[in-house]
Amino acid sequence: MSVIVGIDLGTTNSEIAVIRDGKPEIIPVEGEPIMPSCVGIDPGGNILVGRTAKNQMVAAPEATILSIKRKMGENTRISLADRSFSPEEISAMILTKLKSVAETHLGEAVTEAVITVPAYFDDAQRKATRSAGELAGLKVRRIINEPTAAALAYDHDLGTDQTVLVYDLGGGTFDASLVVVQNGVVEVKASHGNTHLGGDDFDRLLMDYADDLFFEQQGVRLKTDLKAANRLWAAVEKAKRELSDAPYARIREEFILSDLHLDLEIARTDYEEMIRPLLEKTMDSVHRCFKDAAILPGAVDKVILVGGSSRTPLVSELVGNAIRTETHQEIDPDLIVAMGAAIQAGVINGQKTHSILVDITPYTFGTRAVGMLDGQMREDIFVPLIRRGTALPAKKGEAFATMFDGQKAVDVRIFQGEAPLAEDNIFIGNFLVEGLSDCPAGNEIVLTLALDLNGLLQVTAVEKRTGLSKTVTMETDNGKAPLDLNAARENLSAALGHAPATTADASQTTDAKQALINAAKDLRKRAGVLLDSIDPTDAQELRSLLADSQKAVSNGDADRLAQLNESLSDMLFYLED
Ligand code: AMP
């Protein structure tokens, strides 16, 4: 049985994958999982494809072409140095390189492929893609839609009826698609987007920002010098990626223009304000998609984020707020479409395929801070940093500010859970950062959480203005912390007045702890209603139990909480009568 490869022939980057031992595997190109969809001709007349072509992009723009996908299906010629090519021929060069890399990697000839295209591609564009494959010596067994490939990667046989929103934000294009799976039939019900919107636009905004700042300081523009502009582009793109995981990014380029240096810092909040209008435009496409498909957002079972730029945290925030369904990006958003294509190839080849397994955190980790909840300012808001479903290992940072003038210390408290109030979640640990500078309120503290595959959580707090830092490693619950489950269940059933549902997987312990916390919250609420109407002695006793219950939650003391829940439950039984 000869191999069939899956290829994501993208506007900015392309990837190739194959099924091995039932699982999709990305084949690296020159050590990288993704290859720039770039073709060029070097001064010696040799064809360059991928990274080497991209490297000469700024120096030799007339001999280099990127984003040929935008021209597929057009009857046009592209000039490259002193030669000219059709869009199919250029795409064939990209496919030829991927094919040859796969042959070396697999040690066998590769002659068949499944290639993905955007759902909005018309017949001419699909035919052109097929022709490009054939020019590259590949029999194109099937052309599939990119959103369908993404859905396949999450659910390899699409055996369950479902409605999936695929939000795909790449380097140069954006599209949103609604994929409906019913009785094994997969249909892209609607697709909308913008073929000129993506991460490259974010780079341009950052370049303008840095260029303006440099001009203010030095009186010269970086963008007018080709070499400096190229370095600036690479630097802002790197900073942009860093801002997906950290609250600040520093851009430092020495001797960027003769003897001048560029040195600036950008805050994620400022960057988000720059790109917000563009992301809002993507949300307009999402809404049009719903309208066209006559589907309500509430009917969506799953939201899948695709494309490198969908790693921008503001994307999941905006999409999550609009759809109110968890967004999935556990599978690498750069590679997911190629993996889905490989799964389709495997199905055509009669190979058994499995779902893609990724290590993810089943719980959200965050800290406690002052913030608004239901229009009320509170001191105990839970601020998530690493969200449930994030692929591991994960590292995420956020900036916080001190509350008081001259504040010398902060108590960093870490919780695990999904509740909006910190203390309704599981307490993981805390530490004090002392010796902060004597300055007005608003002193920034950058908190970074790094979670590894073993559930070890490294928490670092840094005073931004001085670099004073403290790092503590905490063991997260991960379903392994000791707790007497039977005792917890008994206690719970007393508190709830009925037997709690039994849990059956490895997260039992955590679920039981969370259930204890929920039960305590419930009991405190019931007690709160009674406080003003009962005998003062009873009220005093009840208040003391409530304070102890709150303390046990704060300290993460599950055993004590179990006892207190029981006492509270007994007392309420008698008081509510
Ligand atoms: P794609 O076309 O899907 O390969 O996406 C490429 C785009 O994703 C480029 O604009 C990258 O700069 C951008 N990108 C890659 N990684 C990240 C990241 N971690 N955060 C934000 N943008 C990213």
pLDDT for 35-51, tens place per residue? 999 999 999 999 999 99
Task: Say whether 8 is catalytic.
Answer: yes
Report the separation in Å between the CA atom of 244 and the middle of ligand 1, taken as the mean of its atom positions.
Answer: 10
Q: Is 192:176 a contact under the CB 8 Å cutoff?
A: yes
List, in sequence order, the alpha helices (H) in 498-535. 508-530
Q: Rounded to whole angstroms, how far apart are CA atoms 397 and 449?
A: 6
CB-count exposure of residue 449 (10 Å: 0-12, 13-18, 19+): buried
The pLDDT assigned to 242 comes to 98
Residue 506's pLDDT band, with cuts at 50, 70 and 90, is very low
| Active-site residue, from 88, 146, 175, 477 | 146
Residue 342 reports pLDDT greater than 80: yes
Centroid of ligand 1 to alpha carbon of 517 (angstroms): 40
What pLDDT was estimated at residue 489? 54
Instruction: Name the least confident of 104-113, 278-287, 309-318, 357-366.
Output: 357-366
Distant-in-sequence contacts of 489-497, Cβ < 8 A, 24+ apart: 491/516, 491/519, 491/562, 491/563, 491/565, 491/566, 492/516, 492/519, 492/565, 494/565, 494/566, 494/569, 494/570, 495/519, 495/520, 495/522, 495/523, 495/565, 495/566, 495/568, 495/569, 496/522
Specify the fold of 199-273: Actin; Chain A, domain 4 (3.90.640)
Question: What average pLDDT is seen over the chain?
Answer: 91
What is the separation of C-alpha 11 from the centre of its chain, rounded to a whole number of angstroms?
21
CATH assignment, 4-197+278-358? 3.30.420.40
For residues 306-318, give the mean pLDDT.
96
What is the 333 CA–ligand 1 centroid distance (Å)? 9
Task: State yes or no: pLDDT of 493 exceeds 80.
Answer: no
Segment 142-165 shows an average pLDDT of 92
Q: What is the pTM of this model?
A: 0.82
The residue ranking higher by pLDDT, 543 or 93, is: 93
User: Cβ(237) to ligand 1 under 6 A?
Assistant: yes
- Give the tokens for residue 62: 């007339």
Where residue 477 falls among pLDDT bands split at 50, 70, 90?
low
* Known active-site residue 146: yes
Residue 138 tokens, joined: 């590949």
Spatial distance between the Cα atoms of 267 and 271, rounded to a whole number of angstroms: 6
Indicate whether residue 312 lines ligand 1 (CB < 6 A).
yes
69 is catalytic: yes
Confidence of residue 532 (pLDDT cuts 50, 70, 90): confident
The encoded tokens of residue 271 equal 């960057």
Strands 64-66 and 469-475: unpaired
Sequence-ordered list of residues with C-beta below 8 angstroms from that of 228, at least 6 positions apart, any chain? 222, 256, 257
Q: How many whole angstroms from 171 Cα to the centroid of ligand 1?
A: 6
Distance spanning both ends of the chain, measured CA to CA:
75
Residues facing 181 on adjacent strands:
162, 186
Q: Which residue has the higher pLDDT, 265 or 392?
A: 265
Helix (H, G, I), strand (E, B) or coil at 350: coil
Among residues of the chain, what percentage have pLDDT more than 90? 71
CB 460 within 8 A of CB 437: no
pLDDT at 371 over 80: yes
Q: Which of 88, 89, 168, 200 is catalytic?
A: 168
Kindly tell me if the per-residue pLDDT of 204 is higher than 70.
yes
Alpha carbons 143 and 200: distance in angstroms, whole number: 27
Dihedral of the alpha carbons of 230, 234, 240, 246, in degrees to the nearest 10: -140
Q: Which amino acid is at 251?
A: I
Q: Which pLDDT does position 180 carry in this prediction?
A: 94
CB 5 within 8 A of CB 97: no
Residue type, 375: G
Q: Which pLDDT score is estimated for 472?
A: 95
CATH for 365-473 is 2.60.34.10
The per-residue pLDDT for 300 is: 96
Which is nearest to 561 in space by CA: 527, 506, 523?
Answer: 523
